[in-house]
Structure 1
């Protein structure tokens, strides 16, 4: 019975420790604050050191170098030969 009590006490201690760490890092995070205004529209309030995102990555694994990227879409650097000859 004492082993169970010690185990549960340790588990509760770890839970409290993680709870405090989450509260601390939640206060000092650089993420923008998201709230709603009186009409129900979502409002994103950016902090002073939050950079505006460029956009979602098209190929996140290819940007990390983990997987090969997909073929570029039409107009994104596809070069066709102008002499009409087939190139391998």
Structure 2
């Protein structure tokens, strides 16, 4: 089937329009998610503060070293 003269330009125009629509849709979703994420900022900071210092030691995978033993080892050397 032979290509018509205006069909390729029309396909390009439709493709670019779809691409612009997808970009605006993602941008709008990002703006909405950022505005709803501001309400939970205190909760996320609280989770970060409550994270364990040595998560592997708490799981029993690696030996844990307390802060006092680290300081005394540094003083002894």
| TM-score of the pair, normalised by structure 2 | 0.50
Structure that is richer in strand per residue: 1
